[in-house]
Amino acid sequence: MMSNSAGPLALSSSSAQPEPTPALEELYAGFEEQSLVPLWTEIGDLMPESPRPAARAHRWEWARLLELARTSGDVVPIGRGGERRAIALSNPGLGGAPFATPTLWAAIQYLNPGEDAPVHRHTQHAFRFVVEGEGVWTVVDDDPVAMRRGDLLLTAGWRFHGHHNSSDRPMAWLDGLDIPFSHYVGTTFFEFGPAEVSTREAPARSRSELLWGHAGLRPAAATATADASGSSLAAYRWEHTDAALTDQLSLEDGGHPGTLEPGHAAVRFVDPQTGGDVLPTIRAEMHRVRAGVSTSARREVGSSVWQVFQGVGEVRVGDRAWVVSHGDLVVVPSWHHWQVVADTELDLFRFSDAPVMEAVQAWRSEVGGLVP
């Protein structure tokens, strides 16, 4: 379907350009003076046969990230103005911007014992994924949400939120946001809240979990229409995610459908109120690959970031490949093949801009094909 029968022919920038003449030069000068650019010199870059993103496949090692985050914890104070001690992945193809991909922000955030990350809100949508540790509560619109290993915690756009570390140990986690996307299209609003979170309560379950954390059970008091700006549930606990993956593999053991492909279980985190993605701009998933299994090569329109939660294996993206383990992060640019090879049982968290791609009818995907 994507095949191009035109064969050797190529879109401009190159050979198909008009002959350089004084008249052409004068024309181009006129363009420049009038803030104009012709299509025919740019079409090769703007209209490739298939996506040719500037972003590159890349891997970051968690150990190195964590080390730098710890140093930041010593050197960089936290408070109003800087707001967060967060260090972002900067894709080598994106000119030094703090963007993991053109649409996604991924950062390690670090909070020392007793510290507070001050309260603010912004239209950017955010989540936290906890690869290790516990002891921090993120307080979202006054609802304290415990952060524990393996949990996915949401802060949908325009909710006031701050964090406090109630424990006696520092804690680091992954922040994911749509900062690059909203920065590019110009949708960002921001507002300060108090310097400290409104409550030091530290319950095991947030109020959103008490209300929405029961499969297939909607509070009758909920208004009829869902707020499409983010999930009703603020916390997705590891014990439930783990159980869902385990159940998928047990279905497979019984000969029943359920896994994504043999040896490869996966769940998408969704809003229990609608079944839709947890955030309007971000899809989040957890994958489990059995030891010894190689997943099919797949590619999708749009970009994603993976983080290894537990286990050891190899992640291949386009023509790159890395041995990965606990906490390592890998970026997959648009339309790049990806494949996971599990040495041990391998659990991987993934987030992507798929909801944006789907919302604008740009979604395409392929299973199979070659990965070098």
Site for its own copies in 222-241 (CB under 8 A): 226, 228-229, 231, 233, 236, 240-241
Q: 88 vs 122, 179, 344, CA distance in Å?
A: 18, 11, 29
Spatial distance between the Cα atoms of 286 and 288, rounded to a whole number of angstroms? 7
Which CB atom, from 345 or from 353, has the smaller least distance to its own copies? 353
Which CB atom, from 279 or from 371, has the smaller least distance to its own copies? 279
Instruction: Assess contact for 153 and 234: CB atoms under 8 A.
Output: yes
318 binds its own copies (CB under 8 A): no
Query: Nearest approach, Cβ of 274 to its own copies (angstroms)?
Result: 5
- Report the site for its own copies in 243-272 (rule: CB under 8 A): 243-244, 247-248, 250-251, 254, 256-260, 266-272
323 binds its own copies (CB under 8 A): no
Contact with its own copies (CB under 8 A): which of 150, 302, 311, 327? 302
66 binds its own copies (CB under 8 A): no
199 binds its own copies (CB under 8 A): no
Query: Nearest approach, Cβ of 252 to its own copies (angstroms)?
Result: 10
- CA torsion 238-240-244-247 (nearest 10°) is 110
At residue 79, what are phi and psi to the nearest 5 degrees? 165, -170
348 binds its own copies (CB under 8 A): no
| Token pair listed for 12 | 């401009």
- Report the site for its own copies in 98-137 (rule: CB under 8 A): 98, 102-103, 107, 122-124
Say how many residues touch its own copies, by CB under 8 A. Answer: 148
63 binds its own copies (CB under 8 A): no
- Report the site for its own copies in 162-191 (rule: CB under 8 A): 179, 181-191
- Report the site for its own copies in 27-46 (rule: CB under 8 A): 27, 30-31, 34-40, 42-43, 45-46
Contacts of 152 (CB under 8 A, 6+ apart): 127, 128, 129, 130, 235, 236, 241, 269, 278, 284, 286, 349
Spatial distance between the Cα atoms of 124 and 228, rounded to a whole number of angstroms? 14
Contacts of 264 (CB under 8 A, 6+ apart): 287, 288, 289, 290, 293, 295, 340
Instruction: Assess contact for 366 and 299: CB atoms under 8 A.
Output: yes
329 binds its own copies (CB under 8 A): no
Which CB atom, from 213 or from 327, has the smaller least distance to its own copies? 213
